[in-house]
């Protein structure tokens, strides 16, 4: 009688163990499939509304309108400066910098800060046109750059600037900027 009872108990525990093994296998497979789906699925971040349109940045790429807004804000931050706000100006730009380009950008900005600190020279930029290319993550801004000494305007020139961006996860980071040559000057120097 004891042998039969022990055999039945052993069979009961074996069936329970087998059910747990099957449940563990199913849960493990579900976990692997879930991780795989999450890793390959497009990610999307809904951005804070600053316009009446809904903006988002997905793992597929940057939306042209979002790139335009980021470029606009960066251009205005970069090209509007005065001696009183140079430290804030530089730290604001460096917060946007790509880590790979941080050192080079900081060196360029430090030169500008050293030249302008202690002077009365300020500048203001008025955007006239902007072109963005989400495929190459570049944008070009054209407008009027005014230079002031105190309250006096000493120069007002049409200028164009190119901004280069990189994607870091679901955000954009500034990798570089440059002033573009004036096409009118090239035409004037060529015979």
pLDDT tens digit sequence for 156-185: 999 999 999 998 777 788 999 999 997 766
Taking the model in full, what pTM does it have? Answer: 0.67
d(CA 9, CA 36): 41
Higher pLDDT, 16 or 187: 16
Structure-token match 């971040």, residue found: 45
- DSSP letter for each residue of 62-120: B-HHHHHHHHHHHHHHHH-B-GGGHHHHHHHHHHTB-TTTHHHHHHHHHHHHHHHTTS-
Q: Give me the CATH topology for the region 60-189.
A: Nuclear Transport Factor 2; Chain: A, (3.10.450)
Mean pLDDT of 109-136: 91
């Amino acid at each position: 009688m004891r042998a039969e009872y022990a055999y039945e108990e052993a069979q009961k525990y074996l069936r329970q163990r087998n059910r747990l093994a099957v449940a563990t296998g199913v849960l493990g497979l579900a976990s692997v499939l879930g991780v795989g789906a999450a890793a390959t699925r497009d990610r999307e971040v809904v951005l804070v509304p600053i316009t009446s349109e809904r903006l988002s940045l997905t793992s597929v790429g940057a939306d042209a309108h979002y790139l335009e807004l980021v470029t606009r804000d960066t251009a205005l931050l970069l090209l509007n400066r005065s001696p009183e706000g140079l430290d804030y100006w530089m730290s604001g730009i460096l917060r946007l910098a790509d880590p790979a380009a941080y050192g080079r950008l900081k060196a360029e900005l430090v030169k500008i800060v050293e030249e302008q600190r202690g002077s009365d020279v300020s500048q203001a930029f008025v955007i006239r046109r902007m072109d963005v290319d989400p495929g190459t993550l570049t944008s070009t801004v054209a407008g009027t750059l005014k230079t002031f000494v105190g309250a006096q305007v000493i120069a007002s020139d049409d200028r164009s600037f190119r901004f280069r961006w990189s994607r870091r996860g679901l955000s954009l980071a500034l990798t570089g900027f440059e002033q573009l040559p004036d096409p009118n000057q090239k035409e004037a120097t060529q015979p």
